[in-house]
Structure 1
Amino acid sequence: MKVTILSYNSVAAWKWDTSTEPHKLCDYATNGDTDDYDDDDDECGICRLAYESCCPACKIPGDDCPLIWGECKHVFHMHCLLKWIDTESSKQQCPLDRRPWGKVDDWCFDCLR
């Protein structure tokens, strides 16, 4: 019996790897070593939605909803964190550990392209 495939639809899935420290993303992208990473922490600490979904501030599903890493190594949806920081009660602190908020600046996006 001969089978001929007339057409096919490919499917892809992706996931934020928040267990990787931002300055190590270049090494991770080039080596592809995923053995040392744990998938337990995959939701925003503010809105409690998965990183793959958009945050409540995004008006249209599928809107660009980037993540932001703090110096304390906590990760949030950028929109959730900006809304949190704008509140007076936040005192410019991380919502999870109350350390002064500072985002990680040493990104290396060129190696991820």
Structure 2
Amino acid sequence: MKVNILSYNAVAAWRWDMPEDDDCGICRVQFDGTCPKCKFPGDDCPIIMGQCTHSFHMHCLDTWIKQESSQGRCPMCRQVFRIKGTADQSEAQPEQTPES
């Protein structure tokens, strides 16, 4: 008996490899989804984990860090936010302006 396949539909699913948190601590959207600024999940909307083990969408964290009131601190635990696994932490710190 010979079978010819005329068509098929492939289905796939993916998840971020995250240890505990299921959603962003800032926008409260699941990591499998996107932040409010993005249309599609994946590499264009990466997840950033801090040394304090809290995780956020990159765009959400970027907006948070740029606010003067955040003072470069984690929105969840208020420690100075440092990206996990990087030697130079200056990109996570707000710019310091000299006082006049």
Task: Give TM-score scaled by structure 1 length.
Answer: 0.66
Specify the code of the residue in structure 2 equivalent to 1:77.
H
* Cα distance in 2 for residues equivalent to 1:62 and 1:100: 30
Paired residue for 1:10?
A: 10
Paired residue for 2:63?
A: 83
Larger Rg: 2
Greater share of residues in helix: 1
Shift of 1:85: 0.6
Paired residue for 1:70?
A: 50
Shift of 1:69: 0.8
- Counting aligned pairs with the same residue, the percent is 53
* Cα distance in 2 for residues equivalent to 1:97 and 1:14: 29
Q: Give structure 1 stretches of 5+ with no counterpart.
A: 20-37, 107-113
Shift of 1:4: 4.9
* Cα distance in 2 for residues equivalent to 1:87 and 1:57: 17
Q: Give structure 2 stretches of 5+ with no counterpart.
A: 87-100
Deviations 1:6-37 (A, max 9, x none): 21111100011210xxxxxxxxxxxxxxxxxx
Paired residue for 2:37?
A: 57
Shift of 1:42: 1.2
Q: CA RMSD in A?
A: 2.0
Which structure has more RCO (C-alpha within 8 Å, separation ≥ 6)? Answer: 1
Task: Give TM-score scaled by structure 2 length.
Answer: 0.74
> In structure 1, the residue corresponding to 2:56 is in which secondary structure?
strand
Shift of 1:54: 1.5
State yes or no: 1:42 paired with 2:22.
yes
* Cα distance in 1 for residues equivalent to 2:13 and 2:71: 38
Q: Please list every run of at least 4 consecutive aligned residues from structure 1 whose deviation after the TM superposition is greater than 6 angstroms.
A: none
Paired residue for 2:79?
A: 99
Specify the code of the residue in structure 2 equivalent to 1:8.
Y
